[in-house]
Amino acid sequence: MKTTTRLYQPIDISVQAKSDCTNPFFANITGIFEGPNGERLAIPGFYNGGSTWCVRFAPTAEGSWTYRLLSPNLSIAEPAGQLEAVANAAPGNHGGVAIDPDHPHHFRHADGTPHFMMAYEADWLWALGLADPDGHKTREFVDQLAEYRFTNVIVNIYAHDTRWCEGKTSEHDYGPPPQYAWDGTNEQPDHSRLNLAFFANYDRMMDLLLERGIVAHILLKVYNKMVNWPQIYSPEDELYFRYVTARYQAYPNVIWDFSKESFNEPDKAYIASRLSLIRAHDAYRHLLTIHDDPVFSAHPVYGRMLDFFTAQQHVDFYRAALLERAQHRRPYFNSEFGYEWGPGGEQDLTYRIGQSPEELLHRAYEVVMAGGYPAYYYTYTAWDVIDYGRIPPGYAYFRILHDFFSSIDWRVLEPSPDVSRRDARCLADRGRQYVLYWREKPWACHLVLPPGIYDVTWLNTHTGEKLSEHLPGSANIKVLPGRLQFKNVFGETPTLLHLQRRA
What pLDDT, on the 0 to 100 scale, is given for residue 1? 65
Report the C-alpha gap between 258 and 177 in whole angstroms: 22
**Taking the alpha carbons of 99, 104, 107, 112 in that order, is the dihedral positive or negative?**
negative
Report the C-alpha gap between 265 and 256 in whole angstroms: 17
> Which residues partner with 466 through β-bridges?
459
How many other C-beta atoms lie within 10 A of the C-beta of residue 208?
A: 19
What pLDDT, on the 0 to 100 scale, is given for residue 2? 86
Closest CA to 445 of 478, 410, 406: 478
Report the C-alpha gap between 431 and 437 in whole angstroms: 18
Report the C-alpha gap between 341 and 360 in whole angstroms: 10
- Residue-level pLDDT, tens digit, the chain, 503 residues: 689 999 999 999 999 999 989 999 999 999 999 999 999 999 999 999 999 999 999 999 999 999 999 999 998 888 999 999 999 989 999 999 999 999 999 999 999 999 999 999 999 999 999 989 889 999 999 999 999 999 999 999 999 999 999 999 999 999 999 999 999 999 999 999 999 999 999 999 999 999 999 999 999 999 999 999 999 999 999 999 999 999 999 999 999 999 999 999 999 999 999 999 999 999 999 999 999 999 999 999 999 999 999 999 999 999 999 999 999 999 999 999 999 999 999 999 999 999 999 999 999 999 999 999 999 999 999 999 999 999 999 999 999 999 999 999 999 999 999 987 667 899 999 999 999 999 877 667 888 899 999 999 999 999 999 999 999 999 999 998 888 888 889 988 999 999 999 98
> Which residues partner with 317 through β-bridges?
none
> Which residues partner with 11 through β-bridges?
57
Rounded alpha-carbon distances, angstroms, from residue 259 to 50, 160, 368, 474, 485: 31, 14, 24, 50, 47
Closest CA to 192 of 184, 204, 201, 200: 184
